[in-house]
Structure 1
Amino acid sequence: MTTTTTTAGEQAARDRDLVARYGSPLYVYDLDRVARARADLRAALPDGVTLYYSLKANPHPGLVRALREGPGGCRAEVCSTGELASALEAGHRAESILYSGPGKTAGELAVALAEGVRTFSVESAGDLRRLGAQAVRQGVVAQVLLRVNSAAAAATTSIRMTGTPSQFGIDAETLPGLLPALLDVPGTAVAGAHFFPLSNSKDEESLIAEFTATIEQAANLQSELGLPLRMLDIGGGFAAPYSVPGERPVYPNLRAALEKTLDTRLPRWREGGVEIACESGRHLVGDSGRLLTSVTNVKESRGRTFAILDAGINTLGGMAGLGRLLPLSVDPAFHRTGEPVPVSLAGPLCTPGDLLSRSVRMPPPEPGDVLAVPNTGAYGPTASLLLFLGRPAPVELLLSGGEVVSASRLVTTRTEVV
């Protein structure tokens, strides 16, 4: 893929032009960067590994479609009927989708099964029984991955997702007593195991250690307990910077390390005896996005400068809700000269919690200035307080080859329930 270098001034001019055409706040996603992220991750994984895109990072159907199409296309991992609808809209076949999540209701399981989804990750015995009951009603059999909450953690960094009391997964130490009953739930067939031990691992050593421990534990469950292992989802944990400058990490040693462990513990994987899968969200789309936001007002208050933006926690909430500040940085698209000063960036909402940063150093802002928040392709609008105070959702643009190929806005409506 041919790439061109864009200067800061050229990028600023393009940002201002996009805001003039589409308004702000405005999310801009570059599909070329999405393709590069997928290619890089594919290169870091052994050949034949199934790669799922986790829609929780960004369910925009255009992004989901781009990750599905072309060489090394991703399958879809969803956690709700809304994400399922986005995956189907993007062209995914229902039978290729993995449905996961700790709070699956009987109603949504019925919808997923009716749409043709057949592979589910289950988090508990109750989750499995609910799935089985719905499958029996529809006369089908659901293929099941048992999500395992390991008793110990191998990695020492990143966001821990295992090794502690959790709503996620079946505690590993309980499996010997539970497995016979789990294998005998009508409407289901246990196909393997699902692990997700950590998230956002910038440290390749920790990522390798956790994947190695996962593969070893799955092999032990198969040999010692008789756990069926036609498929093993080893999870994810691939990192990307969020709302700050930085480069998406690469994992040059991961492929060889995974192949070595798989060859030792699950040697049938190369012939397809065990399908190995992993999943990624932020790593695939995080560095594709920029949030453009305009300064609507500037004020001084007791020695502090506040820039009031048209984007707040309703636009870039980062799953945080009220009261948590993001480690946020901005590129001033206006490229104003002047000695940088500390500026508090506040959103447009009528709550003191709508503060994106208390101290971003930037040239003194003025109303009408456009700011750009980098690396916001993941956990943007749908991870924010989008409905709070009823402000319009931001426009979302898709670029390919530098040209706009899609412009859309999420719209919410209230309907009567009967």
Structure 2
Amino acid sequence: MQTHRHEGHALPAHVAEQIRTGIAAARERAEPFCAYVHDTTAIAEGAGRLRAALPDACTLLYAIKANSRPEVLRALAPRVDGFEISSVGELRKARAADAGARVVFNGPGKTWKDIEEGLRAGVDLFNVESTADLARLDAVAGRLGTRARVQLRVNTRRPLVTGTRQMVGVATQFGVDEEQLPEVIAAALAAPHIEVEGLHLHSVSNNTDAASHLAFVDSCLALAAELRARHGVPTKVLDIGGGFGVDYTGAGRHFAWDDFAAGLHERAEALTGTELVIEPGRSLVADHGYYCAEVLDLKHNHGQAFAVLRGGIHQFRLPAVLRADHPFAVVGVDDWPWPLDRPEIRDSAVALCGELGTPADVLTRAPRVGLLRAGDVVVFPLAGAYGWEISHRDFLSHPHPDFLTT
């Protein structure tokens, strides 16, 4: 088996080599190649650089929801200060990666059993999302003879920063309405088994503008000072959540972490006495994951070219969620061992589609490919976050992809 040609998005040499190895192994099994490839070395190095750039007042937690693969969590565990989780399942994955890692438990709808397991497992901070959430935390902590350390999650009346999805400043299920805060703060401070540590202000998803995120930090600090003065709420911890974005156009205009870290250093005086918690997920892993799918067929319908891939949005749903054409590369494979003419297209626009029974199963519409043949492999970069995790992976019961690590 030979691979020779590569066109499209540039792939790191070691990633391309791992893909070629995976293709050869699939051919030996007489199966089409379909896999995620994670560059865990690059993931660890990137997280380590970010941790070193941040001021001492800053705590770096990885948001597991972006990618919870065990190999990814093991790579990140020594380079971050802990994990942000939103379920007991994620708690168990965090503990498997690092039994002593600091953990913050986010999200609405925490059950009695969730809270108990979290307290028994040593969750450091719980986010309070509602009065009922607070009451459950207080009751379970009392039954276990302990105190739950909490942050009050605030849904402000106006957006504090913008991105692809707004969490606060609009009607969502997240956090306590700013107008209801006085009564929730009073109840939390009076609860016998609750220790209020601060506020949680995660507001947005996928913001790529570092300057606006620094302005968001300023807004969070101002709100914390106001609530501390008016209602006596402690602000030892100020958790601004995640929302640090990635540019999926392939142009590389990602969140400028160097600028953001420098801006936090400039705010050192304002951060005195406050632990600023940030919870990036996507921006730590997206660049270092690749979804690979072999071309099964090439055809024309109504004057348009279509490539049918092994895989699709049931395995890599992100392009459908973003409603955008995802960048890609083509790894050419010379061998064609099958007893039929090899379908191909040349110098043509083509829709790269999956194997599902729905016309929605389109990963990208390429304006042009030089050469694409059945048996070649299409590689989608920027697939390290919210790819496999958010996909309806068992729809139609197709085989799952392989998972490879460099």
TM-score by length of 1: 0.84
1:226 alignment partner in structure 2 = 232
Taking the aligned partners of 2:11 and 2:389, their CA distance within structure 1 comes to 31
Shift of residue 110, structure 1, vs aligned partner:
2.4
2:284 alignment partner in structure 1 = 284
Shift of residue 242, structure 1, vs aligned partner:
3.9
C-alpha contact (below 8 Å) 2:162/2:207 kept by paired residues: no
Aligned residues: 383
1:410 alignment partner in structure 2 = none
Shift of residue 113, structure 1, vs aligned partner:
2.3
Give the 3 Å change call, closer, same or farther, for CA 75–328 of structure 1 in structure 2. same
Work out whether 1:153 is the aligned partner of 2:159: yes
Work out whether 1:29 is the aligned partner of 2:38: yes
1:79 alignment partner in structure 2 = 86
Give the 3 Å change call, closer, same or farther, for CA 347–52 of structure 1 in structure 2. same
1:107 alignment partner in structure 2 = 113
Taking the aligned partners of 1:228 and 1:335, their CA distance within structure 2 comes to 61
- Superposition pairs of residues 138-217 of structure 1, within 5 angstroms: 138-217=144-223
SS in 2 for 1:227: coil
Tell me the alpha carbon deviations over residues 306-350 of structure 1, each in whole angstroms, 9 at most, x when there is no partner. Answer: 1111111111012957xx744312101118998532111111112
214-223 vs 175-184, greater mean Cα deviation: 175-184
75-84 vs 183-192, greater mean Cα deviation: 183-192
**Greater RCO between the two (CA within 8 Å, min separation 6)?**
2
Shift of residue 73, structure 1, vs aligned partner:
2.6
Tell me the alpha carbon deviations over residues 72-93 of structure 1, each in whole angstroms, 9 at most, x when there is no partner. Answer: 4330111111111111111242
2:272 alignment partner in structure 1 = 267
C-alpha contact (below 8 Å) 1:155/1:210 kept by paired residues: yes
For the aligned residue pairs, the C-alpha RMSD in angstroms reads: 2.6
Tell me the alpha carbon deviations over residues 171-214 of structure 1, each in whole angstroms, 9 at most, x when there is no partner. Answer: 22321233211222343221111111222221111111111101
Taking the aligned partners of 2:359 and 2:157, their CA distance within structure 1 comes to 41
Give the 3 Å change call, closer, same or farther, for CA 304–60 of structure 1 in structure 2. same
Taking the aligned partners of 2:345 and 2:313, their CA distance within structure 1 comes to 28
Shift of residue 37, structure 1, vs aligned partner:
2.1
Work out whether 1:237 is the aligned partner of 2:263: no
Unmatched 5+ residue regions in structure 2? 1-9, 27-31, 335-343
Work out whether 1:16 is the aligned partner of 2:20: yes
- Out of 51, 54, 71, the residue aligned to residue 45 of structure 1 is 54
Work out whether 1:125 is the aligned partner of 2:131: yes
Q: Percent identity?
A: 36
Shift of residue 103, structure 1, vs aligned partner:
1.8
Shift of residue 131, structure 1, vs aligned partner:
1.9
Tell me the alpha carbon deviations over residues 153-177 of structure 1, each in whole angstroms, 9 at most, x when there is no partner. Answer: 3435553322112211112232123
- Out of 325, 328, 342, the residue aligned to residue 327 of structure 1 is 325
Shift of residue 381, structure 1, vs aligned partner:
1.1
Give the 3 Å change call, closer, same or farther, for CA 101–8 of structure 1 in structure 2. closer
Shift of residue 8, structure 1, vs aligned partner:
7.5
Taking the aligned partners of 1:219 and 1:41, their CA distance within structure 2 comes to 27
Taking the aligned partners of 2:373 and 2:387, their CA distance within structure 1 comes to 25
Letter in 1 for 2:330: P
Letter in 2 for 1:216: A
Taking the aligned partners of 1:78 and 1:331, their CA distance within structure 2 comes to 33
C-alpha contact (below 8 Å) 2:319/2:363 kept by paired residues: no
Tell me the alpha carbon deviations over residues 206-228 of structure 1, each in whole angstroms, 9 at most, x when there is no partner. Answer: 11111110111112211221001
C-alpha contact (below 8 Å) 2:319/2:325 kept by paired residues: no
Taking the aligned partners of 2:143 and 2:238, their CA distance within structure 1 comes to 28
Give the 3 Å change call, closer, same or farther, for CA 99–10 of structure 1 in structure 2. closer
